Amino acid sequence: MIVTEQAYKDGQIILIDKPLEWTSFQVVNKIRWLIRKTYEIKKIKVGHAGTLDPLATGLLLLCTGKFTKRIEEFQGQTKEYTGTITLGATTPSYDLETEIDHTFPTDHITEERIHQTTAQFIGEIQQYPPVFSALKKDGKRLYEYARKGEEVTIPSRAITINSFEITRIQLPEVDFKVVCGKGTYIRSLADDFGKALDCGAYLSALRRTKIGDFDVTTALTVIDFETQLPIKKDLA
Which residues participate in catalysis according to the annotation? 53
CA–CA distance, 93 with 201 (Å, rounded to integer): 11
In contact, 49 and 69? CB cutoff 8 Å: no
Alpha-carbon distance values, 88 to 44, 135, 191 (Å) = 47, 28, 11
Burial-class residue 171 by CB neighbours within 10 Å (0-12, 13-18, 19+): middle
CA angle, corner 75, sides to 178 and 163, nearest 5?
Answer: 15
DSSP strand pairing (157-170 vs 173-180): antiparallel
Alpha carbons 232 and 24: distance in angstroms, whole number? 28
> Cα–Cα distance between 205 and 63 in angstroms, integer?
26
**What letter does residue 220 receive in the DSSP assignment?**
B
